[in-house]
Amino acid sequence: MTVPDKKWGSLPYWALLIFLTITFLTGGASRSDVQSLVILRPAAVLFLAYGLWNMQWQQAMSHRLVFILALGTVLVTLAHLVPLPPTIWEQLPGRELAAEISRLTLKEPVWRPISLVPPATWNAFYALMIPMAVLIMAIQLEREQKFSLLFVLMGFAIVTAVVGFGQSIAPGDPLYLYRITNEDSAVGLFANRNHQAVLLAMLIPMLAIYAATAADSVEKIRFRILLSIGGGMIIIPLILVTGSRAGLLVGAIGILSIPLLYRKHGNVKPPKRKAVKTDFRYFIGFGAVIALVLITILMARGQAFERMAESGNTEEFRFRMWQPVIQAAWTYFPIGSGAGTFVEVYQVHEPKDLLSIYYVNHAHNDFLEMLLTTGLPGVLLTFVGAAAYVRAAWAAFQSYKSRNREKLYARLGAVLIFMLMIASAADYPLRVPALVSIFVVAVVWLAYPKMDSSPNVTNARRSIERSET
Q: Please give the average per-residue pLDDT across 286-315, as a whole number.
A: 56
Lowest mean pLDDT among 3-7, 177-181, 428-432: 3-7
pLDDT of residue 269: 55
Looking at every residue in the chain, the average pLDDT score rounds to 82
pLDDT of residue 101: 83
The pLDDT-based confidence of 217 (bands split at 50, 70, 90) is low
Indicate whether 449 pLDDT > 90: no
Q: Please give the average per-residue pLDDT across 250-269, as a whole number.
A: 80
pLDDT of residue 226: 80
C-beta neighbour count of 456 within 10 angstroms: 11
The pLDDT tens digits of the residues spanning 52-93 come to: 999 988 888 888 899 999 999 999 999 999 999 988 988 899
Instruction: Give the separation between CA 78 and CA 388, rounded to whole angstroms.
Output: 24
CB 194, CB 244: distance < 8 Å: yes
Strand segments (E) across 177-304? none
Lowest mean pLDDT among 156-170, 235-249, 350-364: 350-364
Instruction: Give the separation between CA 190 and CA 278, rounded to whole angstroms.
Output: 43
Q: Please give the average per-residue pLDDT across 403-417, as a whole number.
A: 90
CB 351, CB 324: distance < 8 Å: yes
Please tell me which residue, 5 or 10, carries the higher pLDDT value. 10
Q: How far apart are the first and last CA of the chain?
A: 25
- Single out the residue of 22, 38, 67, 54 nearest to residue 447, CA to CA: 67
Q: Please give the average per-residue pLDDT across 442-460, as a whole number.
A: 61
Looking at residue 286, its amino acid is: F
pLDDT of residue 458: 42
Lowest mean pLDDT among 117-131, 145-159, 318-332: 318-332
Burial class (CB in 10 A: 0-12, 13-18, 19+), 233: middle
CB 405, CB 149: distance < 8 Å: no
Q: Please give the average per-residue pLDDT across 229-246, as a whole number.
A: 83
The pLDDT tens digits of the residues spanning 312-335 come to: 556 666 778 888 999 999 999 999
CB 262, CB 211: distance < 8 Å: yes
Name the DSSP letter for residue 32. T
Indicate whether 463 pLDDT > 90: no
Please tell me which residue, 5 or 189, carries the higher pLDDT value. 189
- pTM as predicted: 0.87
pLDDT of residue 263: 75
CA separation (Å) from 458 to 3, 62, 395, 451, 455?
Answer: 9, 15, 19, 6, 5
Name the DSSP letter for residue 266. -
Q: Please give the average per-residue pLDDT across 402-425, as a whole number.
A: 90
State whether the Cα torsion 221-224-228-230 is positive or negative. positive
The pLDDT-based confidence of 3 (bands split at 50, 70, 90) is very low
pLDDT of residue 464: 46
Contacts of 346-351 spanning 24+ positions with Cβ under 8 A = 346/372, 348/97, 349/324, 349/325, 350/324, 351/324
The pLDDT-based confidence of 246 (bands split at 50, 70, 90) is confident
pLDDT of residue 455: 40
Indicate whether 407 pLDDT > 50: yes
pLDDT of residue 423: 94
The pLDDT tens digits of the residues spanning 8-40 come to: 568 889 999 999 999 999 999 999 889 999 999
pLDDT of residue 108: 78
Q: What percent of the chain has pLDDT over 90?
A: 47
The CA R_g of the chain, rounded to the nearest whole Å, is: 24
Q: Please give the average per-residue pLDDT across 104-111, as a whole number.
A: 80
Helix H or strand E encompassing 112: strand 112-113
Burial class (CB in 10 A: 0-12, 13-18, 19+), 373: buried
Strand partners, 217: 269
Select, from the ranges 172-176, 303-307, 414-418, the one with the highest average predicted confidence (pLDDT): 414-418
Please tell me which residue, 285 or 328, carries the higher pLDDT value. 328
The pLDDT-based confidence of 356 (bands split at 50, 70, 90) is confident
Strand partners, 84: 112
- Single out the residue of 346, 350, 373 nearest to residue 123, CA to CA: 373
The pLDDT tens digits of the residues spanning 359-382 come to: 788 888 999 999 999 999 999 999
CA atoms within 13 A on the CB side of 32: 16
Q: What percent of the chain has pLDDT over 70?
A: 79
The pLDDT-based confidence of 404 (bands split at 50, 70, 90) is confident
Instruction: Give the separation between CA 99 and CA 463, rounded to whole angstroms.
Output: 66
- Single out the residue of 198, 252, 132, 177 nearest to residue 428, CA to CA: 198
